[in-house]
Structure 1
Amino acid sequence: MTWQSMTQQITLFILFLCSLGWYSVSNDYVVFDNSLFDYVHIWMCWSHIIHYLISTVFIYLLYAYSYSQVYNVKTTQFQNVLFSISALFATSGFAAIILIWSPELQTVKLFFQFFSPCIHLFLMLFSALLLSCNKKSSIFKRNFTIPYFSILFFTMLTFFIHPQSPCVSDVAVNRTKPLIFGHKGFPMIAPENTELSFQLSLEYVDGFETDVAVSYDGVPFLIHDRTLKRTSNVEDVFPDRKHERAEMFTWGELQKLDVGTWFIRDHPYYIFPTNYPEEMRQRIKEQKLMSLNQLAVLAAEHGKYLIFDLRMPPMGHPHTHDYIHVIIDAVLSSGIKQSQVFWVLGPYADYVTSKAPGFNLVYGAKVNHLSKYTMSGLILEYNTVSGEEIQRYKEKQNMDVILYTSSTEWTFSLAWCQGAFAYISDAPEIHSQLNKPIFSFTIREYNIIWRVCFIFCCICIFLSSYIPRFPTNTNSKPSR
């Protein structure tokens, strides 16, 4: 095998890993897009563009390489250049993710752990296929040296590797389904943090989760970003203030903004239905910023839990030092039961516990010490905590764990198998319809599946020895 052929194989392998790795973090695509927006101030579905670009280049180069090897021809100059550029960018991309977005490496690890049963079976089936092909193909022997020497390794690997997924467990299959908290409502089908978004989530969720800021005149309202640029028409209404902190606007000024049209234009989750009825589109365009009191009233009326992150106003804001008082007053005046509210413990904790002793107090980080406050649980990012830690908090400290944020079935299923109390969801409809975690098996069930696949592979390899070998004409090639 030539040096060029080997480098092309390595490039294809790197591109495959890039494509698979980028797909494995798809749960956090919106986080990536929002982060890029903060830097470039241009909204696009960057994450999907990157995924499609990597996948397209990989498929094209795989075709080009396979064609050149099967028909014993050289790749074109364009293809060689594309191989080189792809190797450079793929390597640079790996380095950038490790340096800039390193927490997502844990997401990749969780992805492979969760899908380890599928990977385990696929390796066995793929190895059997290669062994069967190897018996009949001289082209395979001559041109695919790296896969050839990998067959035995992959085959033997299946005998010693056992799935690491928490969902292959006799305990996990009987765990209680986590509660579902709608993240900013139902942001996949309606603009986030609007009344419509929360109303559409009602039939799917057990509670609401959002972010709260305080307006310049003391009205707590719902917003995720620091500014209003991404989710409103602030550039049209207040062009000189488009980069100003949202808290520096009065409630009256905030109510002048259209916070729905952007959703139709940008479709942040890349799935905005084109067949939305005109009535729904009109309702979306009419959405205004929602106050915390309005959300608490909605939660009280429908018996939903409420949890929110607090944002301290900037210096120079009239409520920089009493924003906690303003927020608690807004919640309590709604009539919601205190037991329905999960309060993320932070500043002025003594005041909070004296004013609202019935709130469920939760930490926003891992803790290894006892607190003078009675804690209900922790709220943690899903890729920062293991199933063992979740169970340890529950058994030793009597604290439940709420995880965030999920837009995929596998992340929700993983939390279910780990024993999480609740999950903050971007896709409550999808998660509410799950009756059990996906790819969930008892150990006995999985062992039966593995044995059946193994016997099938052995039969295929055995039968392939009796299939006549067809001659391969490597001198001929079809017109391209």
Structure 2
Amino acid sequence: MHDSTLSRTTDVAEVFPNRTHADASTFTWAELQQLNAGGWFLSRDPFGTVSSLSEADWSQAQNQSVPSLAQFLELAACSDKLVLFDLHRPPYGHPYYQSYINTTLQVVQAHINSSQVLWLPSEDRELVQAVDPELQQTSGVKASIQDLRDGHITRLNLHYSTMSQQQFSKYQSVNISTNLYVVSQPWLYTLAWCAGAQSVTTNSVHILSNINAPLFLMISGSLLFPNEEVVV
């Protein structure tokens, strides 16, 4: 659940109209399972792809429920994928207010190889590293190489506006890779690629996954990055 509330990607306003804007972590698992988490995608069509769905795919999308972290990790484990997720402390008074990090670590260790997890939360990072050194410690902020090494950081997760070929090369020289977010346009993907980012977070995987080389257009000796038509 990327958002702090359930209103954008579920029908919580219909099922629990008095709790539409309540923090997602205040709902029990039984309550969460009553929500439809797929209908919004079909009605809003955020990527313009709904018309291309088969009848079976449309039906599957319409009947999605909110997945648990365990289900998400198991899917990544069976498909041999890396995972990156944010983790936020629940509101004061929540039963896991103090133990949410340890509880999450227990779920991770039970459902996926820890080396597949890019651990982004910065809170209690030293404790997390001691408990599970196989996690790929990932920082959301730039720092000196020494500070990153001291924190056992192996990856950076940065906004694309921080793009710098010189910095990426410096980090890569000490085996620290960089992921940029949110990169959804082909021209921006090309810039990230050429700057040396090792990966990107995107809302347009259906588009970027079909690009096998940077896109560029040469005009009068200048290198331009257009939004639409390109020459490869």
- 2:132 alignment counterpart: 356
Matched, 1:259 2:29: no
Cα distance in 2 for partners of 1:276, 1:393 equals: 41
Distance 2:40 2:183 in 1: 23
The one-letter code sitting in structure 2 at the alignment partner of 1:368 is S
Alignment check: 8 A CA contact 1:264 1:272 kept: no
CA contact under 8 A between 1:408 and 1:427: conserved in structure 2? Answer: yes
CA contact (8 A) 2:10 2:35 kept: yes
Counterpart mapping for 1:305-344 below 5 A = 305-334=82-111, 336-344=112-120
Aligned counterparts of 1:275 and 1:358: Cα–Cα separation in 2: 40
C-alpha contact (below 8 Å) 2:84/2:118 kept by paired residues: yes
Tell me, what secondary structure is at the counterpart of 2:6?
Answer: coil
State the identity as a percent.
35
Classify the secondary structure of the residue corresponding to 1:401: strand
Give the equivalent residue in structure 1 for 2:5: 227
| Contact kept? 2:36, 2:65, Cα under 8 Å | yes
User: What's the counterpart of residue 389 of structure 1?
Assistant: 167
Deviations 1:223-250 (A, max 9, x none): 1111111111111111111111111001
Could you tell me which runs of 5 or more consecutive residues in structure 2 were left unpaired when the two chains were aligned.
Answer: 222-232
Provide, for residues 174-224 of structure 1, a one-character-per-residue CA deviation record: whole Å limited to 9, x for no partner.
xxxxxxxxxxxxxxxxxxxxxxxxxxxxxxxxxxxxxxxxxxxxxxxxx11
Deviations 1:279-318 (A, max 9, x none): 2222111100011111111111111111111111111111
Counterparts of 1:399 and 1:386, CA distance in 2: 14
Is 1:233–1:259's contact at 8 Å kept on the other side of the alignment?
A: yes
Match of 1:423 in 2: 200
Give, in whole Å, the separation in 2 of the partners of 1:275 and 1:425: 20
| Residue of 14, 18, 23 corresponding to 1:240 | 18
Distance 1:428 1:272, change over 3 A: closer
Summarize the Cα distance change of 1:245–1:411 in structure 2 as closer, same or farther, 3 Å threshold.
Answer: same
What is the CA distance between 1:450 and its match in structure 2? 2.9
Is the contact between residue 406 and residue 426 of structure 1 (CA under 8 Å) also seen in structure 2?
yes
| Residue 146 of structure 1: aligned partner | none
CA RMSD of aligned residues (A): 1.7
Residue 220 (structure 2) pairs with residue 450 (structure 1): yes
Report the Cα distance in structure 1 between the residues aligned to 2:64 and 2:50, rounded to whole angstroms.
18
CA distance in structure 1 between the aligned counterparts of 2:209 and 2:54, rounded to whole angstroms: 24
After superposition, the C-alpha distances for 1:31-71 in whole angstroms (9 at most, x for unaligned) are xxxxxxxxxxxxxxxxxxxxxxxxxxxxxxxxxxxxxxxxx
Match of 2:144 in 1: 368
TM-score (normalised: structure 2): 0.88
Conserved? CA contact 2:87–2:121, under 8 Å: no
Q: After TM superposition, give the deviation of residue 357 of structure 1 in Å.
A: 0.7
Q: Post-superposition shift, 1:369?
A: 5.6
Pair member with larger Rg: 1
Counterpart-to-counterpart distance in 2, 1:275 and 1:424: 23
- How many Å separate the matches in 1 of 2:200 and 2:49? 23
**Counterpart position of 2:177:** 400
Q: Which residue of 2 aligns with 1:179?
A: none
How far apart, in 1, do the equivalents of 2:206 and 2:56 lie? Answer: 21
* Structure with greater proportional helix content: 1
1:433 aligns with 2:203: no
Letter in structure 2 aligned against 1:331: V
Give the aligned partner of residue 230 of structure 2: none
Secondary structure of 1:379's match?
strand
User: SS where residue 227 of structure 1 aligns?
Assistant: coil
Q: What SS does the corresponding residue of 2:118 show, helix, strand or coil?
A: strand
Gap regions ≥5 residues in structure 1: 1-222, 441-445, 452-480
SS of the residue 1:294 aligns to: helix
Pairing 1:171-250 to 2, within 5 Å after superposition: 223-250=1-28
| Number of residue-to-residue matches in the alignment | 219
Is the partner of 1:426 in helix, strand or coil?
A: coil
What is the CA distance between 1:345 and its match in structure 2?
4.4
